[in-house]
Amino acid sequence: MNWSHVKLIFHREVRDQLRDRRTMFTICILPILLYPLMGMVMMQVAQFHREQHVTIGVVGYENWPEDFPLITEVENDTIRWKKLLSDDSLVRAFEASESKRKSTDVFETRVGSHHQSNDPNAAEKLLRQFESDAIVWVPPSFRESISRDSMVILSNQRWERSQLAAKCLNERISEWHAHWLRSHLKVSEIGAALMDPPRVMQVDVSSAEMKRAIVWSKILPFVMLVWALTGAFYPAIDLCAGEKERGTLETLLCSPARRREVVWGKLLTIMCFSIGTALLNLASMHTTASLVMSQFSGLGTGDMVAAMGPLPLHSMGWLILLVIPISAIFSALALAVACLARSTKEGQYYLMPLLLVGLPLVMLPMIPGVVLSPGTSIVPITGAVLMSRALMDGEFMHALLHLPTVATVTVLCCMLSIRWAVRQFESENVMFRDSERSSMTQWIRNVWRQREDTPTPNESLLCGLLILVCLFFGRLSLGGMTLSWMSIVQSTIVIQLGMILAPALIMATILTRSIRKSLRLNRPGAKELVATVLLAISLHPAYTGFASLVGAEYKLGEQTTSMLMQFDSIIAAAPIWSVLLVLAMVPAVCEELAFRGFLFAGLQHNNGHIRAILLTSLLFGLSHGVLQQTITASVIGLLLGWLAFRTGGVVCTIVFHCVHNSISMLLVSFSSCGSVAPQWLTWAIESSNGQLAYTGTWCTLSVGVAISLIAWFASQKSIAESLQAFGQHATQKSIRSVPNLSRGH
């Protein structure tokens, strides 16, 4: 790569963007102006709130104890009292009801009758009639029996002022009651100190600087990432879709700069603006918020607000360090997506989904309780945010522990995003797309005419997504069923046959010429089958260990745990042959035909075996619904994908899957029955805490056996030859398809 070309393109693009008033306004001017303006508005609103008063009407204040008045003349009191006179209609109504024993009921009936008369604004009318935000009614006998008779506070919770008035009134009455009680205790010669709560001295070991860092560490990474994403958007659209629209990209592509160099030049520009936007917003928000909050703290508004002073410098350093890799990911993704667009308008449509995908990853660290752990560190962006938060909070050792994982995931994401962007630039179909012609019938006719023996990668992906959507709605609709063996059988059959196998089978029938090749139905040798069975048995201890690790890291909720326990006891009670048929055999056949069959067949096109293994395992994992199962199934899916690739078909993976499921079911079934391991198996299985588990000897031995079997599969000459034959067949097929294509015209 010629870096002088990259530098030239970068300089040109940066200069071009700096000359664009719209970009400059969004990226530079807006952040500088936005937060001070917002701060100004906030200060004014807060001032308004501080100065506003609430009006509370009091009915029957003459019933209040005279020695301890509720209404006092205090300067700057937030409550304005309004004694309602006896000639008011409402008061008359109360007085009239005084003869009745439960006068509060009368009041409530009166208010209630307004509601019942289909007049939803009745309560509002009462409050409006007396121009009050809330009305308190003091019962006639209140002075004599303060604790026995209840007051009534009428408020309208739809109005914020009314909510505030009710809150103020409650606080004022509580204060009054404490004062009243204290006085009475004094009179009764009981120590008033009895009322005081025990004294507790709060000692906070964190420094003021650290407290400030903790408050900011929750807010700033989120703000920064949102702006890093937004800051990458507009330059990406302008530099790619905009250049296509203006026709300048073509000129650049026939210049000495190679496409990779053009991509790097543009990518660095987008990154530059993404980082710039994020940092400018950060600085502007931080400065404004610190100043505004210092104003509030001066007025004694609370500890949290007081803690939001200026962020320590080292914390700011960690944030700046975070923004670089995150901006690189966002910029590369934005550039790749913007490549798909033919115009700036189209680019905006394409970038919205990117925002929708990116935001949840940015939002995830905001959820209370989400901290940096082995589980969260592998989530792209989320891990990096949590890491920067840990560093800002001063938890250096904790952050250092997760640094390798977070760095690997982030670098991997960066590399993949950049590679995708370069590929987009190198693809003629993407760079020189003509305007779309929307003829559905012609498209369907073409799909039918052009179908091949196996599905295309897009058809396979569509099938995978269709399965996931079907499973989502299927599980929701089946979720209400009571847990019994019959319901488990029904739901398993419906899910496996109807939602996993059926989409693959229907698509194989409609979109391909050969169902056998689309589902990769092969005839493996006896040796391969035996090796597959042994591999499934020998890998099961390792799988169990891994599943326990995942379970320990990502704890199941109480509800899920109890459901799983119930599920295990139902399985234990069911006939073992039916358990193996329904929970081992059926899922093995259906899932393998769909994932390692139809999906794999399409995704392995153009030597895309690695793509096929990765994507099928991911989709297979996601089809399991629960996070813990998703992780374990994705990992086992990688092995199944590799096995499907090595054996050239789906039969071995069905056998593996079936044996694996059967062992799991047998262990669960026997453990739940409280059975002990048979004598001849004690070297491999033991009972511990009422559960059947693998012995240490077998765990060690099995890993060795599994590795040997994997090596055997990897070295099988016959399989390699069959794969080569499959490759030749695929080549012949592609040659054959040429006349088919030309027939289309």
Give me the residues that bind other proteins (CB under 8 A), please: 4-5, 8, 12, 15-16, 19-20, 246-248, 250-251, 253-258, 428-429, 432, 436-437, 439, 442-443, 446, 449-450, 741-742, 744-745
Q: What DSSP element (H or E) covers 693?
A: strand 691-694
C-alpha 742/C-alpha 220 separation (Å) is 58
Contacts from 374-378 at CB under 8 Å and sequence distance 24+? Answer: 374/402, 374/405, 374/553, 375/553, 375/554, 377/402, 377/405, 377/406, 377/409, 378/405, 378/409
C-alpha 379/C-alpha 365 separation (Å) is 10
Nearer of residues 19 and 523 to other proteins, judged by Cβ: 19
Strand 79-84: give its sheet, edge to edge.
79-84, 54-59, 134-137, 152-155
Q: How far is the CB of 163 from other proteins (least distance, A)?
A: 54
Q: How far is the CB of 457 from other proteins (least distance, A)?
A: 13
- Best CA proximity match to 162, nearest among 129, 124, 125: 124
Q: What DSSP element (H or E) covers 365?
A: none
Q: How far is the CB of 737 from other proteins (least distance, A)?
A: 10
Which residues make beta-bridge pairs with 84? 59
Nearer of residues 431 and 730 to other proteins, judged by Cβ: 431
Identity at 646, one-letter amino acid code: R
**Residue whose entry in the numeric block shows the structure tokens 């650049």:** 252
Distances (CA, A) of 722 to 527, 717, 725, 730: 15, 9, 5, 12
Q: How far is the CB of 447 from other proteins (least distance, A)?
A: 9
Q: Residue 650, exposed/middle/buried by CB under 10 A (0-12, 13-18, 19+)?
A: buried
Nearer of residues 2 and 109 to other proteins, judged by Cβ: 2
Nearer of residues 15 and 83 to other proteins, judged by Cβ: 15
Contact (Cβ atoms closer than 8 angstroms) between residue 285 and residue 196: no
Q: How far is the CB of 19 from other proteins (least distance, A)?
A: 4
Identify the three-state secondary structure at position 525: coil
Nearer of residues 157 and 441 to other proteins, judged by Cβ: 441
Q: How far is the CB of 212 from other proteins (least distance, A)?
A: 42
Taking the mean position of all CA atoms in its chain, how far away is CA 652? 36
Distances (CA, A) of 271 to 16, 232, 577: 15, 7, 60
Nearer of residues 118 and 742 to other proteins, judged by Cβ: 742
Q: How far is the CB of 728 from other proteins (least distance, A)?
A: 21
Q: How far is the CB of 251 from other proteins (least distance, A)?
A: 5
Nearer of residues 446 and 484 to other proteins, judged by Cβ: 446
Nearer of residues 442 and 700 to other proteins, judged by Cβ: 442
Q: How far is the CB of 261 from other proteins (least distance, A)?
A: 10
Nearer of residues 430 and 626 to other proteins, judged by Cβ: 430
Nearer of residues 125 and 246 to other proteins, judged by Cβ: 246
CB neighbour burial string for 554-575, b if at least 16 within 10 angstroms, e if fewer: beeeeeeeeeeeebeebbbebe
Give the pair of three-digit tokens for residue 461. 């992906």
Contact (Cβ atoms closer than 8 angstroms) between residue 521 and residue 651: yes
Q: What DSSP element (H or E) covers 725?
A: helix 717-743
Q: How far is the CB of 269 from other proteins (least distance, A)?
A: 13
Nearer of residues 19 and 199 to other proteins, judged by Cβ: 19
C-alpha 585/C-alpha 501 separation (Å) is 13
Q: How far is the CB of 338 from other proteins (least distance, A)?
A: 17
**Residue whose entry in the numeric block shows the structure tokens 């082995």:** 374
Q: How far is the CB of 540 from other proteins (least distance, A)?
A: 45
Contact (Cβ atoms closer than 8 angstroms) between residue 352 and residue 338: no
Give the chain's length: 745
Identify the three-state secondary structure at position 81: strand
Q: How far is the CB of 442 from other proteins (least distance, A)?
A: 5
Nearer of residues 253 and 320 to other proteins, judged by Cβ: 253
Nearer of residues 110 and 259 to other proteins, judged by Cβ: 259
